[in-house]
Amino acid sequence: MIKVEALTKSFGRQAVLRGLDLEVATGSITVVIGRSGGGKSVLLKHLIGLLRPDAGRVLVDGAEITGLRGRALDEIRRRYGVVFQGGALFDSMTCFDNVAFPLREKRRLGRAELASRVEAALQQVGLEGMGTKYPAEVSGGMRKRVAIARALVTEPEIVFFDEPTTGLDPILVNTIHHLILDLHRKFRFTAVMVSHEIPEIFEIADTVAMLHEGRIAEVGPPAAIRASSNRVVRQFIRGEPENAEGR
């Protein structure tokens, strides 16, 4: 569904992506891991079309998006859902209106159909009857659920998750991960997720890609990444300092 070829991006003198290659299979959950500040969110912004690379390209279902603008790019984005880090809900809107927002922006629906779809989306994430609440009136875990409902309400083919469990306790992390997995099994969207949740993320990923120094250091199923002989991968998933091995 998504193919990244030789993606390169620098900000001034700081090289962030250095010829990155990655393939995301249709209907899979691909999780990108790596150190903070290593370029994971920059990669995600290229996939969404928020950033343009210095070199390389991104293809979505065979169509190159790196040169698209305006309506052509909007047509690709209509196939997307995005769960932003921290949820990025509108504080001035109720949970119902937050979920309804992309429908009002992208679809022409009658009031009854819009309400039905929003209520169904809230029910799917376990928030039935919570639509009248404002984000400040619900817990952090519930806000994450609202953000997921908003991302899925348009029935996207591709969903991007930018660290969807940041700031949650371990129990809520597992709750949100299993919610994502259950929704993925139901709707079979293609998912790309940026996460630091090691080892929990291995339970829901089909593919794990380790980003290091602007390139994918290793990619494969969770079992292969866990058993990797790559020093960089081993140190990261064990949480060891860079000079921990070879002392």
Per-residue pLDDT tens digits for 86-108: 788 999 999 999 999 999 988 88
- Kindly state whether residues 138 and 230 are assigned to the same domain: no
Which domain does 39 fall in, by range?
22-51+68-79+157-247
Q: What is the pLDDT of residue 124?
A: 93
- Kindly state whether residues 170 and 218 are assigned to the same domain: yes
Which residues 6+ apart lie within 8 Å of 35 measured at CB?
212, 236
- Kindly state whether residues 133 and 75 are assigned to the same domain: no
What is the DSSP code (8-state) at residue 162? E
Q: What is the pLDDT of residue 85?
A: 83
Taking the C-alpha atoms of residue 243 and residue 34, their distance in angstroms, rounded to an integer, is: 17
Q: What is the pLDDT of the chain when averaged over all its residues? A: 92
User: Is 240 part of any domain?
Assistant: yes
User: Is 114 part of any domain?
Assistant: yes
User: Is 8 part of any domain?
Assistant: no
Mind listing the pLDDT tens digit for each residue in 114-134? 999 999 999 999 999 999 999
Residues 153-173, mean pLDDT to the nearest whole number: 91
Q: What is the pLDDT of residue 243?
A: 60
- Kindly state whether residues 72 and 115 are assigned to the same domain: no
- Kindly state whether residues 72 and 193 are assigned to the same domain: yes
User: Is 117 part of any domain?
Assistant: yes
| Vertex 242 angle, CA 224 and 202, to 5° | 30
Residues 168-191, mean pLDDT to the nearest whole number: 93
Q: What is the 3-state secondary structure (H, E, C) of 62-78?
A: CEECCCCCHHHHHHHHC
User: pTM of the predicted model, to two decimals?
Assistant: 0.91
Residue 246 scores a pLDDT above 60: no
Q: What is the pLDDT of residue 229?
A: 93
- Kindly state whether residues 218 and 101 are assigned to the same domain: no
User: Is 227 part of any domain?
Assistant: yes
Q: What is the pLDDT of residue 247?
A: 46
User: Is 13 part of any domain?
Assistant: no
- Kindly state whether residues 45 and 98 are assigned to the same domain: no
Q: What is the 3-state secondary structure (H, E, C) of 49-65?
A: CCCCCCEEEEEECCEEC
Taking the C-alpha atoms of residue 89 and residue 81, their distance in angstroms, rounded to an integer, is: 14
Residue 244 scores a pLDDT above 90: no
How many C-beta neighbours within 10 Å does residue 2 have? 20
User: How far from the centroid of its chain's Cα atoms is residue 196's Cα?
Assistant: 12
| Vertex 40 angle, CA 35 and 41, to 5° | 125
- Kindly state whether residues 196 and 108 are assigned to the same domain: no
Q: Among 183, 160, 186, 177, which Cα is nearest to 45's?
A: 160
pLDDT band at 219 (very low <50, low <70, confident <90, very high): very high
Residue 36 scores a pLDDT above 90: no
User: Is 9 part of any domain?
Assistant: no
Residues 36-42, mean pLDDT to the nearest whole number: 90
Domains in the chain, number? 2
Q: What is the pLDDT of residue 57?
A: 95
Peptide bond into 199 cis (omega under 30): yes
Residue 234 scores a pLDDT above 50: yes
Q: Report the CATH number at residue 199.
A: 3.40.50.300
Range with lowest mean pLDDT among 106-110, 176-180, 227-231: 106-110
